[in-house]
């Protein structure tokens, strides 16, 4: 066997060559490789993910397993966490109650691992199977090429992006043989889950929208503020809903109304420059994941800074979450770029859901964090506009912001379990 040639050292000694620096950049891995970081995070939820049919057959409680569900003949699949109740022998329970399915869909820049604080309690509800998916092109699902239609006009751009996710979810449902489901989506997942319920109402037993993006219309002066270089102003979440008009709530509302946009009367030239650059990148479908991948050996540091804000988690949980988030963020880019196709800068939808969700024909529940940056009044507007005679509810979870399922898992779990039991009990 020929001996392996020695590596050529750069002529400038200790200074690394451009090529040697490039080798430090994370290489794109297959989504099917190395589940250890995902399994490590799921272990923090108390789940025992089985890895063999023998373990599954011998289990007496809910069985959790990771699946890659094929959705077409091109090799695309949706990565799935399935937590199923063990089947009872027909002779033992000839008239067993019907089984129900809860399907969780994640938000942007996350994956199924971000529900790790919820799986255990949700899986304890009798007669319920719990599924959690990575959207096609995100998380550990396959990463097909995503081609934006931003050159075909805004309506075509939005329709293409929405169809990409809605139809892949429907194909996933068919492949698993789920007849009807309680569909629960967070943030970006809430946006797409709502659209799925609009198109396939017969397949949705109940819709739960957790801090969904894209509901309200942009303010009347939105376009003018963008031209001037202002970031879009947002209403801050408060602990008291409008039905509880406490003196503290009234005072906070009055103070916010009287607060000037900025002390100087407007942004500086530097702020305007950076803002316009960010808006240009947004319109061209650049993403946070692209930034992480471009950071190469410093990418994990960016994720550590992001997850480090989650002070409500233990140090061990933050470490496990950061390792998982980093791994799914450096995988090849795909449908992550669809965010700019459905949202304008400032997270206002190009086609706001408030003008579309009046046609919902399934029981619908909204959940927001009390300190959520997503305005809960969007959910209130939808509830008022729904024309069908269906049950609707809105909850605001205390001591939580946008990631309420992570920040206050106990109250989030309590509300969602209550909605599940309202169906099955």
Active site residues: 187, 372, 402
Residues near 171 by Cβ (< 8 Å), separated by ≥ 6?
Answer: 71, 72
Which sign does the torsion angle of CA 296, 297, 300, 303 carry? negative
Do the beta carbons of residue 40 and residue 324 sit within 8 Å? Answer: yes
296: buried, middle or exposed (CB in 10 Å: 19+, 13-18, 0-12)? middle
Question: From residue 197, how far is each of 98, 119, 144, 169, 318 by CA, in Å?
Answer: 22, 23, 24, 11, 34
Regarding beta strands 343-344 and 204-210, do their DSSP bridges make them parallel or antiparallel, or are they unpaired? unpaired
CA 146 to chain centre: 18
Query: What span, in angstroms and rounded, lies between the C-alpha atoms of 397 and 326?
Result: 28
Look-up of token digits 């379990």: 417
Structure tokens at 152: 């075909």
- The DSSP H or E segment spanning 115 is none
Segments in 362-408 forming alpha helices (H): 377-385, 404-407
Structure tokens at 238: 């408060």
Show the CA angle centred on residue 231, arms to residues 228 and 237, nearest 5°.
Answer: 145
Structure tokens at 414: 């309590």
Structure tokens at 151: 């050159």
Query: What span, in angstroms and rounded, lies between the C-alpha atoms of 378 and 375?
Result: 6
Query: What span, in angstroms and rounded, lies between the C-alpha atoms of 295 and 302?
Result: 8
Query: What span, in angstroms and rounded, lies between the C-alpha atoms of 412 and 115?
Result: 11
138 backbone dihedrals φ, ψ, rounded to 5°: -130, 170
Query: What span, in angstroms and rounded, lies between the C-alpha atoms of 169 and 198?
Result: 13
Query: What span, in angstroms and rounded, lies between the C-alpha atoms of 289 and 113?
Result: 17
> DSSP 3-state helix, strand, coil percentages of the chain (rounded to 5)?
40, 15, 45
């Amino acid at each position: 066997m020929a001996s392996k040639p020695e590596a050529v050292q750069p002529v400038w000694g200790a200074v690394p060559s451009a090529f040697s620096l490039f080798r430090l950049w994370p290489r794109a891995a297959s989504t099917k490789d190395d589940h250890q970081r995902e399994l490590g995070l799921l272990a923090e939820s108390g789940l025992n993910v089985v890895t063999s049919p023998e373990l599954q057959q011998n289990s007496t409680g809910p069985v959790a397993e990771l699946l890659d569900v094929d959705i077409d003949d091109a090799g695309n699949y949706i990565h799935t966490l399935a937590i199923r109740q063990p089947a009872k022998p027909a002779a033992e329970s000839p008239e067993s109650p019907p089984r129900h399915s809860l399907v969780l869909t994640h938000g942007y820049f996350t994956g199924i691992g971000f529900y790790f604080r919820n799986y255990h309690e949700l899986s304890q509800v009798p007669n319920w199977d719990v599924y959690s998916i990575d959207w096609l092109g995100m998380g550990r699902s396959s990463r097909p090429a995503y081609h934006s239609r931003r050159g075909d006009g805004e309506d075509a751009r939005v329709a293409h992006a929405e169809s990409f996710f809605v139809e892949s979810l429907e194909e996933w449902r068919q492949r698993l043989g789920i007849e009807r489901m309680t569909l629960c989506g967070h943030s970006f997942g809430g946006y797409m889950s709502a659209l799925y319920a609009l198109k396939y109402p017969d397949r949705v037993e109940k819709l739960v929208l957790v801090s969904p993006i894209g509901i309200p219309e942009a303010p009347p002066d939105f376009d003018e503020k963008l031209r001037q270089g202002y970031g879009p102003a947002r209403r801050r979440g408060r602990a008291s809903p409008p039905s509880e008009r406490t003196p503290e709530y009234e005072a906070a509302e009055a103070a916010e109304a009287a607060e000037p946009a900025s002390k100087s009367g407007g942004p500086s030239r530097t702020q305007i420059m950076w803002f316009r650059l960010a808006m240009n990148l947004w319109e061209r479908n650049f993403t946070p994941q692209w930034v992480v991948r471009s950071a190469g050996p410093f990418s994990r540091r960016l994720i550590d800074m992001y997850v480090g804000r989650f002070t409500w988690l233990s140090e061990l949980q933050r470490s496990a979450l950061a390792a998982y988030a980093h791994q799914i963020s450096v995988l090849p880019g795909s449908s992550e770029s669809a965010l700019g196709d459905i949202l304008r800068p400032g997270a206002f939808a190009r086609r706001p859901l408030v003008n579309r969700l009046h046609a919902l024909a399934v029981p619908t529940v909204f959940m927001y964090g009390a300190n959520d940056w997503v305005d809960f009044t969007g959910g209130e507007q939808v509830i008022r506009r729904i024309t069908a005679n269906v049950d609707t509810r809105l909850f605001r979870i205390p001591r939580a912001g946008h990631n309420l399922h992570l920040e206050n898992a106990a109250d989030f779990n309590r509300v969602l379990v209550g909605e599940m039991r309202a169906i099955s009990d």
